[in-house]
Amino acid sequence: MSTIRGTLAQFPIPDRLEDRNLAPYLLVGPAIATVFLVTIGPMLWSLWLSFNRWKPGSLAYQTPEFTGVGNYAWLFTTQRFIDSVINFVYYGGFGVLLQVTLGTFLALALYNYVESRAVRIGLITLFTVPMMYAPLVAGRMWQLLLLPGGGVANGILGMVGLPSVNWLGSRWLGLTSIMIADTWQWVGLPLLIVYGGRASLSDSLYEAARVDGASRWMMFRRITLPQLRNLIVVAAILRFMDAYKFFDKLFIMTRGGPGSATELPTFFTYLVGFQDFNIGRAAALTWVLGLGSILTMLLFWRYVQTVEGV
Amino acid sequence: MATGNRALPTVGKAFLALYAVFAAFPLYWTLNTALKPLELINTFPPTLYPEVLNLSAFQWVFSNSRAVSSIIDSLIIASGTTILSVILGAMAGYAFSRHANRIDPGGNVSFWLLSTRMFPPIAVVLPMFFIFGWLNLQDTHLGLILLYLTFNLPLATWLMRDFFNKIPVSYEEAAYVDGYSQLQTFRKVVFPLVRPGLIATTMLSWVFAWNEFIFALIITGDNVSPYPTIIPTLILSNQILWDQIMAMAVVVAIPPTLILIAFRKHIIEGMTLGMAEV
Amino acid sequence: MADVTIDNLTKRFGSIVATNEISLDIADGELVVLVGPSGCGKTTTLRSIAGLETPTSGTITFDDADVTDRSPQDRDISMVFQDLALYPHMTAAENIAFPLHADGQQVTGTIDENVEEVARATNCDGFLEKQVSDLSGGQRQRIALARALVREPEVFLMDEPFSDLDELLKRQLRAEVMRIQKERGITMIHVTHDQEEAMTMGDRLVVMNDGEIAQIGDPDTVYSEPSNLFVAMFIGSPQINRFDCVVAGDGVLESGDLRFELPVEDAEALAGATGEEVALCVRPRHLTWSEDPDDGALAVPVTVIVTEQIGTEDIVRCETEDGVEVTAVVPANTLEFGEEGYLVFDPDHLHLFDGYDDSAERLN
């Protein structure tokens, strides 16, 4: 939370250094220039590309050719893209809900019911460590667990006498399986945010409620949840932003399949751009994605500033 | 209600224990798979522990030239991009922290800088693929090092700014008043205090670069192949080489795991963009 | 040590004027206290003297040298910061020695000797080897003081360093600072919002309000002859009593149903001002209780609403019939809640101001 506070803090800056010193510009210049060169500049070029038909390697559009909003029109009339957006909504919506709910309960359970500091830190480390691994590798690990034949998941089903399931073999089940793998990896993020928020709540809030005879449920409903609400929203948005760029696990676990059933927008963009080499269309796709993530980012920023008040 | 109060901690602990098993199992299974011969991987019911330790998969990771060179490539790229992003990010972070009302009055520049990190990487890599083609940076270490700055530099800047913000300005002013130059002040006062944050930023940047996949997939090829790019290719005539993949997974997971354990407090702070301190 | 001259110092932060054309002379070896409510410009003035702020206009001179454009490093000053700015990665002794390690710092004797000497003078030799985080609030204050005293600077600046301490420690440290300042003949500029601290410590006070100097003077003068209504209201505890009056005739003031006939010398100040607004102020110490005042005495009929005992005296808060609150200081245990009587003004200690706002000037 300190970061956020920091953004609003106005320091009594030594003005003497300010007025006559180029240092701040020299310090910040290289970073801004680099970000411009490797991110903003190329993206502006791709914005221009998104209004052009360009398919290097094909005969028809060897060089960029202006088509106005043609690429965007194509995009919104392509069922495969619309399906990927539907998948995105399902995946982003339920995945985030799952991760944030689970993370919140884990965090509160850890804070409230685990007395030993060592155990608490051990569990936090265990729940956090998957975040430190390559999503691609995590995807491979889960693919193994979910193997249709000898996977552990089906093994457990078999032990209790249930038939095997083809976890990654259909649209909704496949997306859900990927969602579970991603939850395994990222539940630590909402967990840490909520845990940090809960730890910073003053005990006197709860003592006052206890004096008033409030039940645990009441304290949860009336104190914990409202106090942490905005922080939970921030965690949710932060996770949701990852749905825009979700690629690695999908690439390794289903490759968007079967067919194109489990495709998410970033993966679809990858196919259009780097399999079909339809660069103009892919550029249009990235800008639609980018706008979505900018809007989400603004929402995030608004909530981050409300967290300031917690 | 009295019984409810007594049962709740038990329920909470059971929930935690259950989830801990769920969280730990894939890790265990990875290790287990790496240590089993390939034939036992698809057996039913699954073999829960390796009866005979089979280290051939690990031997493969450390002797196969593709595997070894992929890990070396990843090391070079992750370390290179980390050095660049931490140096540039620390400089910018210091300026944003100390001279905010001069270079960034509304706090917008630093916010937009951070938001470039949230942008879908595919949006960056699409134009960069062609630009790197013209600059002959495709399939080079340098190319990926530069490309990884797109997410690591904003992160390093943001985190370093946060860490600098925790050092009161008066610490520096006191040194100025006592006759220390700006450079000396930085060396004697600011640097020792920001060092833990600098280390955490370094580690976190390194881990993110180490784990990156989509840029590597698109930009690299024959000469340079970071380890994530070879994991999808470890297949022998339609059979996924699970033991080798999982041995590789174990090996490449060791550095991030050690980093988390060693720098837990600051890594957690960095992971949550400074929102959580545990 | 040097004398300090501030000439027409103005500092703007964007559209906010922090200090507006402040001029001030501080003599060598003098302890001057800048006092005022928060936001009055006292800290900006101090930071300008330190070189931590660049004035928008105006000059600052140490002895005869214009230092306005010098960086803090080149001003040869010591400063104790509000948050003390002790370095957590150093021990107490290392903090004290810190200024001696700066480039170009001339040190007579070894650094250790210097540290030990100043530690003795500030009573912090008992905890020199401790880490800053292990020190108590009072110990930290002493270390900060020692760090600022370890050199012999031209000017010594203090920015509210005592504000976080409890009352007892505050008194103790104030006394020590004053002792050291006098012993060593230090030119010291101290900033505080606490008027009581200002009154006890300062050779002279500079009372500031809204970026301007409201009054400069020694504590007695500021207390007994506040030059405007702001100073009268700000200095002195309990706060001065104030009646917003209108001049009703020669030497006569009216405030609601109250009527004040002023002594001759005060009446002269109001000559020809009939109909004007005048604030009449009197300090609680200059009121006495009477059941039946003499004819012609300046008195207001009141009822006691609260009494607070402070040692041998009571602070009594009373109310007139119109609900105007009047505070008096009387011998302990003489009055009770609900008692009715008169508060009689000491005619030698009346303060008259030409209006009701802060800038209203003294008339008598």
B114: closest chain A residue by CA: A297
B119-B122-B127-B132 Cα dihedral, nearest 10 degrees: 110
Q: What is the pLDDT of residue A10?
A: 41
**At residue A4, does pLDDT exceed 50?**
no
Is the Cβ–Cβ distance between C197 and C174 less than 8 Å? Answer: yes
Is the Cβ–Cβ distance between B60 and B234 less than 8 Å? Answer: no
CA distances from B189 to A10, A73, B193, C98, C183 (A): 21, 58, 7, 10, 32
Contact criterion met (CB < 8 Å) for B170 and C73:
no
Neighbours of chain B (3+ CB pairs under 8 A): A, C
Contact residues, chain C, for A16 at CB < 8 Å: 51-54, 71-72
Contact criterion met (CB < 8 Å) for B192 and C89:
yes
pLDDT-flagged residues of chain C (< 70): none
B178 vs C51, C83, C102: nearest CB: C102
How far apart CA A150 and CA B41 sit, in angstroms, is 7
β pairing state of C4-13 and C16-26: antiparallel
Contact residues, chain A, for B165 at CB < 8 Å: 2-3, 5-6, 9
Neighbours of chain C (3+ CB pairs under 8 A): A, B
| pLDDT band per the 50, 70, 90 thresholds, residue A210 | confident
pLDDT in tens, B230-262: 988 888 777 888 888 999 999 999 999 999 999
Q: What is the pLDDT of residue A14?
A: 43
**At residue A3, does pLDDT exceed 50?**
no
B33 vs A40, A142, A144: nearest CB: A144
Q: What sign does the dihedral C240-C243-C245-C250 (CA atoms) show? A: negative
Neighbours of B87 (CB within 10 A): 14
B179 vs C85, C89, C102: nearest CB: C102
* Residue B192 near chain C (CB below 8 Å): yes
Q: What is the pLDDT of residue A81?
A: 94
Q: Which amino acid is at A3?
A: T
Nearest C-alpha neighbor of A294 from the set B122, B99, B115: B115
Give mean pLDDT, residues B38-56: 76
A19 vs C51, C52, C54: nearest CB: C54
Contact criterion met (CB < 8 Å) for C54 and A12:
no
Provide the ipTM.
0.89
Q: Which of residues 33-72 of C touch B (CB under 8 A)?
A: 50-52, 71-72
| pLDDT band per the 50, 70, 90 thresholds, residue A67 | confident
Contact criterion met (CB < 8 Å) for A16 and C47:
no
B147 vs A38, A147, A290: nearest CB: A38
Q: In 3-state terms, what secondary structure has residue A185?
A: helix
Is the Cβ–Cβ distance between A139 and A181 less than 8 Å? Answer: yes
Residues with Cβ within 8 Å of C58's Cβ and at least 6 positions away in sequence, in order, are: C6, C7, C8, C9, C10, C21, C22, C68
Contact residues, chain B, for A127 at CB < 8 Å: 19-20, 23
DSSP string, C231-297: HHHHSSSSPPEEEEEEEEETTEEEETTEEEE--HHHHHHTTT-TT-EEEEEE-GGGEEEESSPPTT-
Q: What is the pTM of this model?
A: 0.86
Nearest C-alpha neighbor of A178 from the set A259, A101, A239, A264: A264
Q: In 3-state terms, what secondary structure has residue C327?
A: strand
How far apart CA B238 and CA B42 sit, in angstroms, is 14
Is the Cβ–Cβ distance between A228 and A236 less than 8 Å? Answer: no
How far apart CA B65 and CA C36 sit, in angstroms, is 75
How far apart CA A245 and CA A252 sit, in angstroms, is 15
How far apart CA A301 and CA B114 sit, in angstroms, is 11
Q: What percent of chain A has pLDDT over 90?
A: 45
Is the Cβ–Cβ distance between A187 and A99 less than 8 Å? Answer: yes
Tokens 């089906």 belong to residue: A154
For chains B and C, CB pairs below 8 A equal: 59
* Per-residue H/E/C for chain B: CHHHHHHHHHHHHHHHHHHHHHHHHHHHHHHHHHHCCHHHCCCCCCCCCCCCCCCHHHHHHHHCHHHHHHHHHHHHHHHHHHHHHHHHHHHHHHHHHHCHHHHCCCCHHHHHHHHHHHCCHHHHHHHHHHHHHHCCCCCCHHHHHHHHHHHHHHHHHHHHHHHHHCCCHHHHHHHHHCCCCHHHHHHHHHHHHHHHHHHHHHHHHHHHHHHCCHHHHHHCCCCCCCHHHHHHHCEECCEECHHHHHHHHHHHHHHHHHHHHHCHHHHHHHHCCCCCCC
| pLDDT band per the 50, 70, 90 thresholds, residue B145 | very high
Is the Cβ–Cβ distance between C254 and C308 less than 8 Å? Answer: no
Contact residues, chain A, for B34 at CB < 8 Å: none
Q: What is the pLDDT of residue B218?
A: 92
How far apart CA C45 and CA C299 sit, in angstroms, is 43
* Residue B184 near chain C (CB below 8 Å): yes
Q: What is the pLDDT of residue B49?
A: 77
B101 vs A13, A38, A197: nearest CB: A13
CA distances from A14 to A59, B101, B255, C6, C212 (A): 63, 11, 42, 19, 21
Give mean pLDDT, residues B99-127: 82
Name the minimum distance, in Å, from the CA of C54 to any CA of chain A: 5
Give mean pLDDT, residues B266-272: 86
Average per-residue pLDDT in chain A?
Answer: 86
* Residue A14 near chain C (CB below 8 Å): yes
How far apart CA A30 and CA B91 sit, in angstroms, is 9
- In eight-state DSSP terms, residue C83 is T
pLDDT in tens, B171-221: 999 999 999 988 899 999 999 999 999 999 999 999 999 999 999 999 988
pLDDT in tens, A145-164: 988 877 888 888 888 888 88
